[in-house]
Amino acid sequence: MPNDVRYVSTRGAAPELGFTDALLAGLATDGGLYVPAQWPALPPRAPGATYAQRAAQIVQLFIGDELPAATVQRLCDEAYATFSHPAVVPLVQLHHEHFVQELFHGPTLAFKDVALQLVGRLFDEVLRERGQRVTIVGATSGDTGSAAIDGVKDCANVDIVILYPHGRTSDVQRRQMTTVSSPNVRVVAVEGTFDDCQDMVKAMFNDAEFRARMQLSAVNSINWARVMAQIVYYITATDLLAGPINVCVPSGNFGNVFSGWIARRMGAPIDQLVVAANANDILERFFNRNDMSAAAVVPSLSPSMDIQVSSNFERLLFEMNGRDGGLTAEQLQRFRTSGRLSVETDQRAEFIEGRFQAARLDDTETLGVISRTYGESGMLLDPHTAVGVGAVAKLRAAGTLHGTTVTLATAHPAKFPDAVERATGVRPPLPPHLADLFELPEQCTVLPHDLAAIKQFVSTTFR
Ligand SMILES: *Cc1c(COP(=O)(O)O)cnc(C)c1O
């Protein structure tokens, strides 16, 4: 029986696509994000299934017959063999009824590896079959760049150029990008800010001729395949803990927590989804007070959550609007002009009350959680994970969160050693596979903040 999985845009005015086209497109032509036309039901876990086997079973539901099962299994096996823990995403108990799911055992020590190791391989496979190549261009302030580079560094059909602001990332973050020695990887230090880098990437995508000639592509967090790959660990947590469980997610662009929403929609026994925020609390205000109003970004100790407009929230909004793309587009347009968004009482009753909770922590509270957790259990938490652990503690103290809860650990403590040392006096060492990070030679091109120079570099560096 053919299994034709279709994807629709959250703004309702772009053509429906199959999985492969949605993967390569990233953003839909109407500016919307792709979601499957229907949510599949969760199949039971085969006894003894490994993480990679459960992953292949689940992602196949979203790929349909565009890739054979043996191929999907091979790509999952390869992607998750890059993780340095045999359980891939181990569950560790922190406290009475509180577990941490460590998503940071991938090559670059952040949870983004879970998706990008698979997405890079999916890109390479479908491009090889079609006889095409793409050039991925992206801007990074730290984590995403290294995870994207690592995900595609062995791909024959993908070139990647990552721009970062010269002198403005941590040494670990920079070296994780500049020490990758692959013929298809280029790292550019731009003499400018992160926003300058991002604006130049947008300008390249907005230049239709350049975009087509270079076959530009993106792997940012709105790409459907990233959201898809993240569904799996919510499901394996419920498999192992035999649910119902709550899951707490240190959140930024809302991609990770939306993956949890999908897992629950498919039937995984997840009770509450807890959105944890730092001082950039637009999501917390929306969930607790129906107030989504953009403010200026405040730098924090958990920089990967320093986001004001969460791009993946659009996917939840589409669901809350009964999948009415026209209405969703209208609401987002109003949000862009007025800076505010709120939803109807009945939408909140159906989608939010009793389903989502939210809490925020400032930097002082975050350091307190890292210190207290280390004192209680000897576990070192990175600042992003600490925001999640602290959010659970707050909601339990308030009497709103009950039962077994899993907090997603989104980064390895050694990725943010300064904050961890400040809170505990202990500087977490890099794991063995990165121990030589500070000895490897760096390769990087410094370019001015000048679009013409960057375009010239992108178009000539690989050919
Ligand atoms: C990207 C990132 C986040 C935020 O994830 P979203 O999917 O954008 O909500 C949280 N923590 C870390 C360490 C990250 O790298």
CATH of the domain at 279: 3.40.50.1100
Domain that holds residue 347: 91-109+224-424
| Sign for the pseudo-dihedral over CA of 360, 365, 368, 372 | negative
Q: What is the dihedral of CA 321, 326, 331, 334, to 10 degrees?
A: -170
For residues 186 and 164, the answer to whether their CB atoms sit within 8 Å is: no
Residue 278 included in any domain: yes
Structure tokens at 421: 């040392």
Length of the chain equals 463
Q: Is 251 in the pocket of ligand 1 (CB under 6 A)?
A: yes
Quickly list DSSP for 42-98. Answer: PPPPPTT--HHHHHHHHHHHHHGGGS-HHHHHHHHHHHHHTSSSTTSS-EEEEETTE
DSSP 294: -
Instruction: Tell me if residue 394 is catalytic.
Output: no
Beta partners for 9? Answer: 34
Cβ distance 380 to 411 under 8 Å?
no
Q: Where in 197-262 does DSSP place strands (E)?
A: 216-217, 245-250
CB count in 10 Å sphere of residue 298: 13
- Taking the alpha carbons of 320, 323, 324, 330 in that order, is the dihedral positive or negative? positive
pLDDT given at position 112: 96
Q: How many Å lie between the centroid of ligand 1 and the Cα of residue 247? A: 15
- Residue 141: DSSP 8-state: S
pLDDT at residue number 2: 61
pTM score, whole prediction: 0.96
Distance CA 309, CA 296 (A): 10
Could you give the CA distance from residue 136 to residue 149 in angstroms, rounded to a whole number? 10
Residue 317 lies in a domain: yes
Supply the residue whose CA is at minimum distance from atom 14 of ligand 1.
Answer: 304
User: Which residues, listed in sequence order, are joined to residue 109 by a DSSP beta bridge?
Assistant: none
Determine the distance separating the centroid of ligand 1 and the alpha carbon of 143, expressed in angstroms. Answer: 9
Which tokens go with 307?
A: 């986001």
The rounded Å distance from CA 304 to ligand 1 centre is 5
Helix (H) or strand (E) holding 204: helix 194-206
Is 420 contained in some domain? yes
**pLDDT at res. 344:** 87
Angle at 447 between CA 445 and CA 450, to 5 degrees: 150
Per the domain annotation, does 373 fall within a domain? yes
Residue 208 has which token pair? 């239709």
In a domain, 322, yes or no: yes
CA-nearest residue, atom 4 of ligand 1:
252
163 found inside a domain: no
Number of H helices, E strands in the chain: 18, 15
Facing residues of 187 across strands? 162
Ligand 1, closest atom to CA 255?
7
Vertex 78: Cα angle to 43 and 270 (nearest 5): 30
Q: How far is CA 43 from CA 38, 140, 271, 303, in A?
A: 15, 37, 19, 37
Question: 410 CB less than 6 Å from ligand 1?
Answer: yes
| Within-domain flag for 242 | yes
- Specify the residue for token string 């199959």: 18
Q: 34, 7 in Cβ contact below 8 A? A: yes
Question: Do residues 82 and 108 make contact, with C-beta atoms less than 8 angstroms apart?
Answer: no
The contacts of residue 135 (CB under 8 Å, 6+ apart) are 158, 159, 160, 161, 214, 215, 216, 217, 458, 462
Is residue 408 included in any domain, yes or no? Answer: yes
Q: Which pLDDT tens digits describe the chain residue by residue (463 residues)?
A: 568 999 999 999 999 999 999 999 888 989 999 999 999 999 999 999 999 999 999 999 999 999 999 999 999 999 999 999 999 999 999 999 999 999 999 999 999 999 999 999 999 999 999 999 999 999 988 778 999 999 999 999 999 999 999 988 888 889 999 999 999 999 999 999 888 898 899 899 889 999 999 999 988 888 999 999 999 999 999 999 987 999 999 999 999 999 999 999 999 999 999 999 999 999 999 999 998 888 888 889 998 898 888 889 999 999 999 999 999 999 999 998 988 888 888 888 899 999 999 999 999 999 999 999 999 999 999 999 999 999 999 999 999 999 999 999 999 999 999 999 999 999 999 999 898 999 999 999 999 999 999 999 999 999 7
Amino acid identity, position 24: L
Is the CB of 143 within 6 Å of ligand 1?
A: yes
Give me the amino acid identity at 299. Answer: P
**Domain count along the chain:** 1
